[in-house]
Amino acid sequence: MDVIGLTGGIAAGKSAVAARLAALGAVVIDADLLAREAVAPGSPALAAIRARFGDAVLAPDGSLDRPALGARVFSDPEARASLNAIVHPAVQRLYRERLAQIGTDDPDAIVVYDVPLLVEARSADEFSVVVVAHAPTDVRVERLVALRGMDRASARDRVAAQASDEERLAAADVVIDTSGTMAHTLEQVDALWERLVAERARHTGVSDPLS
């Protein structure tokens, strides 16, 4: 079973790449969804977050108040490290569970792990291929302003808080240029899928039933 690591900076178009791969037949595991599940009400991780950061990071219904927590950790590296030490192991456990289930259901699946913090928190060696959705910083800042209503300074801070473009590109086996039109992005994803299916066929004898 091949596991592809997919990453990209904020507003780089990674979600569009993941959605296209899913439509083409990949099994996508979304790290953001795993992170939400990991801190669901009643979870050990949420209890640990409450113990570390207090009731102020909980919503009235007892769930995690993500904006409040984000405000606490965004500009505090020590607090962010504490949060990561709680959440990352829980997410990793869920990821391994999902991967094991996929392996049982379809050993020849092409799995895409959609993980924003691949460069920051994981090893590229875990994946058979690392795919980076990439758009220049200025393009991503403008997208945050136009599509998410951020002011430009806040958008630049959000981009700067992540790994640099150079760090992500250094880890990439494949770069999907998302700075142009959606059609151009999808053309690149389709070409990537053809490559992945061909490689799977060489290794396993399994071809794409839709090809």
Q: pLDDT digit string (tens) for 135-162?
A: 999 999 999 999 888 999 989 988 988 8
The phi, psi pair for 109, rounded to 5°, reads -65, 150
Render each residue's pLDDT in the chain as its tens digit; 211 residues.
Answer: 889 999 999 999 999 999 999 999 999 999 999 999 999 999 999 999 999 999 999 999 999 999 999 889 887 889 989 999 999 999 999 999 999 999 999 999 999 999 988 888 777 788 999 999 999 999 999 999 998 889 999 899 889 888 899 999 999 999 999 999 999 999 999 999 999 999 888 877 655 544 4
| Res 210: pLDDT | 45
- The CATH architecture of the domain made up of 1-26+109-202 is 3-Layer(aba) Sandwich (3.40)
- Whole-prediction pTM: 0.89
| Res 209: pLDDT | 47
| Res 158: pLDDT | 86
Q: Are 68 and 56 in contact (CB under 8 A)?
A: yes
The pair of three-digit structure tokens given for residue 154, joined into one six-digit string = 């806040």
Among 3, 22, 2, residue whose Cα is nearest residue 113: 3
The pair of three-digit structure tokens given for residue 74, joined into one six-digit string = 């965004």
b/e code 135-155 from CB counts within 10 Å (16+ = b): bebebbbebbbeeeebeeeeb
Q: 201: exposed, middle or buried (C-beta count within 10 Å: 0-12, 13-18, 19+)?
A: middle
| Res 211: pLDDT | 44
Q: Are 169 and 134 in contact (CB under 8 A)?
A: yes
| Res 207: pLDDT | 54
Count of Cβ atoms closer than 10 Å to residue 31 Cβ: 23
Angstrom distance (rounded) from CA 94 to CA 35: 9
Among 12, 8, 24, 10, residue whose Cα is nearest residue 180: 12
| Residue ranges of the chain assigned to CATH 3.40.50.300 | 1-26+109-202
